[in-house]
Structures are given as C-alpha cells and as structure tokens.
C-alpha cells in the first residue's frame, strides 16, 4: 500500500533521526522527502548570548532526563516522553531559568532523548558534556517560524523568543519549512531548515552497476578503475596541529591559554570536516549521476574507530587530540560517503546496496580464488591461481560489485549466502 505521507530524513542536519533511513530510497513508499538547508547565522551579541543560554538549558534538560531514565531503569521501572514533559512543566515553577528557553525547544530535546533511548538504550546514550557537546536545538513547529529574504545576500528568520535572526542567504530555500535547528560548530552559529521540497525520486536509474572499495590510502576506488581521493589535512596543518597539541599539554586546565589552543585545534579540524563533507558530496553526485546501482561494503564503521573512541575516554592524556589527528589523516569519511550517496540517490534514483565485505580484498575477481598472498602489496593484486594482475583496490571493488547479487540493502542483515562459485575454498591465512 502506498502511503503518500511517509517522510524520510535525508540530510544529516538534525542531531537524531538521520543516518539509518538513507538506504530506503528504493522503497516506492517514499514519495515526499524532507531535505536540509543550512545557512550561517549572524546573531547580534545579545542573540548569541541567548543562544548559548538555550544550548546550556537544553544540555541540562537532556542530562537530567537521561539520568532520570537510568534511575528508573535501575529500579526496573520506566519513564517515557509524556511523563518527562509533564515533570518538565512542573519543574519550571521551581526553576524559573528553564522557562527562558522556548517550551517547544525543550520538549523537542526530551523527544530527541526519547528517540535516542528507544534506539540505543538508556545506557548507551551519551551525556552532553560541556566540553564535548556543541549546542544544537530545534524549533519543531513550522507555524512559529517565519522566513523573509532581505536582499540578495541576506535573509532573516523569526524564531520564538529570539525574534528576527539574520542569516546569509547562500542557497535557495526551495520548499515548505517543516522545522528549524540552530547549532554551533565551534566557531559559527548556523540555522538549518528542514524543508519539503516536493522532489520525488525517479523510479529507477537506467545506468550500470558499480562496486566501491573504500580504503585508507585511496578514499574510494570503483570497479571501473576510477579513484576518488583528496587530501583532507595538509602537511602544514598536521604539523601545526602537533605543535598545538604540545602547547595544550603544557597549558593549565581552565586557563585562557588553553582555551585559545583548543579553539585553534578546533579550527583545523573544522576545515578537515568541511573538506571531507565537500569531497563526499562531490564523489556521491558523480557516482549517482553515472550509475544505476552503487555497491558498497557494509563496513561496521563504528567498529573501525572503536579503539580510538575508547581511548578518548581515558582522562589525563591527550589521546583525544592524537586520535583526532590520526583520524584526520586516515579516516576518509566512509560513513559520510554512505550518507552522501543516500542524498544524491534521491535525485537520481540510484540504488545503494551494501554487501558483506568478507574476503573482498583477497579474492581474485577473475577466477574467484581466495588467497591472502595474492595481495602482494597495498596497491598490487596478483592472483596465485590464474595469473590475473590488477590494482588491489580495483580488484576489491569488482568483487564488491559481483557480491551485490547476494546483497541485502539497508542496515542490519548481512548477505547470508555467497554463491558456491565464490565460496572460499580454504581458510585464508593472514
Ligand atoms: Zn585468479
């Protein structure tokens, strides 16, 4: 049955709710899609202070709500969104500062918490620490948001309790506003509108299929032999980053010096993040324009960075910064590429398929022979059975493309069976 009102969050402009649904573009049900439009805000100094204050209140509401949920769980009980909302309204009488933030923004925070707990469980949802979490809050009621264009370069939006806020009109809004999110990226405030742009995804893309191998040395290699890569952090930036890390280690906690250094480190990482996002968007657009099916490895990207994330939590060292630099150099933004492909596929109708990545790098794409020694080096693959020689990443990309016949798209279930032809004939040695 077709449901004309199935909305899909595609653009990752919200703190929660995006990411997992992006592979649903193949479903005929998805007729109306919401997309994100992000603009740089130019707050007045008063508005900036107010935004910081709301961010702090939201953080506090989130943390209190999470603590409460865990407290209930410890006793084997449960507290949900409706009850937390009711208690929030009561708490406003006792803590008047809660009332300074727009009510719908705080309710949205509890709703986001509810969604996060439903998805990950109350024990896995993270605290919003002052140092880690960057302010982000959503105005969910379109009726209370107004947008006007002031000039060629400037627009303004009316938000509850803020009044009019100015933003740089850098791209068309192109749709009906469903919600607005105000967020801070470490240096600037932005406003993201979730708009219903009326764009419908074409039923199918007539183009051929392609396999993508995502690597550390080359960001993405296709089965047709194209390499997509970009340097995300320059050598100069990396050197400066290392120097700043040393300065950070020598500075006192809470000092102004430390704040400056942290801001400078943040500025470098922000540039890296934007470069990566730009690269992902361009790569995804190029692939989706050309191909009808894009096959990816179903990498458990979370697992791949798990060791770095684990060490971040160790206090008293600079592991966090070190892993930040390592990630900037090594991480080619695999998860981001998946998301970007989901976005681009919306426009072109390209099918995105994920396959089990097992053995793709050590299997011969010509004869199916599995042997770890076939992969002579990072770049060269020479089959020990049939003498086929190829670029190792291209060979892997071809295997990924071939595996698509057994793919289950979407998250979770991996392809269960591999064809008998490609079944590994012996356990590969590593
Ligand atoms: Zn072979």
What does the angle CA 202 – CA 207 – CA 211 come to, to the nearest 5 degrees? 110
Whether 194 and 36 have beta carbons less than 8 Å apart is answered as: yes
Sequence-distant (≥ 6) Cβ neighbours of residue 64 within 8 angstroms: none
Catalytic position from the list 24, 297, 331, 371: 297
Q: What is the mean pLDDT of residues 360-375?
A: 90
> Is the pLDDT reported for residue 428 higher than 60?
no
Residue 129 in domain = yes
CA of 387 to the centre of ligand 1 (A): 6
Helix (H) or strand (E) run with residue 86 in it: helix 81-94
- 416 has a pLDDT exceeding 60: no
Domain end position, chosen among 196, 223, 249: 196
Is 3 contained in some domain? no
Please tell me the total count of domains within the chain. Answer: 2
Choose the final residue of a domain: 147, 172, 196: 196
Residue 362 CA to ligand 1 centre (angstroms): 10
- 298 noted as active-site residue: no
Cα(15)–Cα(274) distance, integer angstroms: 17
Closest CA to 214 of 140, 273, 91, 299: 299
How many CB atoms are located within 10 Å of the residue 216 CB?
A: 12
Is 112 in the active site? Answer: no
| Banded model confidence at residue 221, pLDDT cuts 50, 70, 90 | very high
**Residue 327 pLDDT exceeds 90:** no
Range of the domain at 314: 205-430
Does 34 reside within a domain?
A: no
- The reply to whether 10 falls in a domain is no
> Do 423 and 279 belong to one domain?
yes
Q: What is the Cα–Cα distance from 189 to 170, expressed in whole angstroms?
A: 15
353 alpha carbon to ligand 1 midpoint, in Å?
Answer: 25
Instruction: Determine whether 226 is an active site residue.
Output: no
Q: Examine the fold and report which residue of 146, 170, 196 is the final residue of a domain before the chain moves on.
A: 196
The SS3 call for residue 38 is: strand
Query: From start to end of 256-376, where are the E strands?
Result: 293-297, 351-355
330, 187: one domain: no
CA 392 to the chain's CA centroid: 28
- Determine the distance separating the centroid of ligand 1 and the alpha carbon of 376, expressed in angstroms: 13
pTM of the model: 0.68
Same structural domain, 287 and 426: yes
Two tokens, residue 25: 């573009």
Are 184 and 211 members of one domain?
A: no
Give the residues across from 164 on adjacent strands.
Answer: 158
How far is Cα 293 from Cα 345, in angstroms, rounded to an integer? Answer: 9
Phi and psi torsions of 425, nearest 5°: -80, -20
Confidence of residue 13 (pLDDT cuts 50, 70, 90): very low
């Amino acid at each position: 049955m077709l449901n004309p009102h199935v909305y899909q969050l595609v653009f990752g402009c919200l703190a929660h709710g995006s990411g997992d649904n992006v592979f649903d573009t193949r479903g005929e049900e998805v007729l109306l899609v919401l997309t994100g439009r992000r603009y740089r805000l130019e707050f007045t100094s008063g508005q900036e202070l107010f935004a910081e204050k709301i961010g702090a209140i939201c953080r506090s509401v989130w943390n209190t709500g999470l603590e409460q949920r865990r407290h209930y769980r410890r006793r084997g009980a449960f507290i949900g969104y409706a009850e937390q909302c009711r208690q929030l309204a009561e708490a406003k009488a006792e803590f008047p500062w809660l009332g300074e933030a727009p009510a719908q923004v705080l309710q949205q925070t509890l709703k986001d918490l509810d969604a996060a707990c439903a998805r990950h469980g109350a024990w896995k949802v993270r605290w919003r620490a002052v140092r880690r979490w960057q302010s982000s809050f959503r105005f969910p009621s379109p009726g209370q948001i107004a947008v006007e264009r002031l000039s060629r370069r400037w627009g303004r939006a009316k938000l509850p309790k803020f009044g009019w806020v100015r933003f740089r009109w850098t791209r068309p809004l192109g749709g009906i506003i469903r919600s607005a999110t105000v967020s801070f990226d470490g240096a600037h405030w932005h406003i993201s509108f979730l708009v219903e742009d009326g764009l419908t995804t074409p039923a199918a893309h007539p183009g051929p299929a392609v396999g993508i191998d995502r690597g550390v040395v080359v960001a993405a290699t296709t089965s047709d032999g194209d390499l997509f890569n970009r340097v995300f952090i320059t050598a100069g930036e990396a050197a400066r980053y290392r120097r700043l890390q040393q300065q950070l280690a020598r500075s006192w906690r809470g000092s102004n010096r430390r704040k400056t250094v942290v801001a400078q480190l943040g500025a470098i990482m922000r540039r890296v993040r934007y470069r990566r996002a730009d690269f992902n968007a361009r790569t995804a657009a190029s692939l989706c324009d050309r191909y009808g099916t894009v096959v990816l490895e179903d990498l458990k990207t979370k697992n791949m960075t798990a060791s770095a994330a684990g060490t971040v939590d160790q206090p008293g060292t600079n592991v966090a910064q070190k892993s930040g630099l390592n990630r900037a150099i090594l991480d080619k933004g695999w998860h981001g590429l998946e998301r970007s492909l989901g976005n681009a596929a919306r426009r072109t109708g390209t099918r995105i398929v994920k396959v089990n990545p097992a053995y793709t790098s050590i299997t011969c794409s010509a004869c199916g022979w599995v042997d770890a020694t076939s992969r002579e080096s990072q770049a060269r693959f020479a089959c020990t059975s049939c003498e086929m020689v190829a670029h190792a990443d291209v060979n892997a990309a071809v295997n990924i493309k071939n595996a698509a016949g057994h793919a289950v798209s979407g998250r979770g279930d991996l392809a269960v069976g591999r064809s008998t032809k490609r079944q590994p004939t012996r356990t590969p040695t590593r």
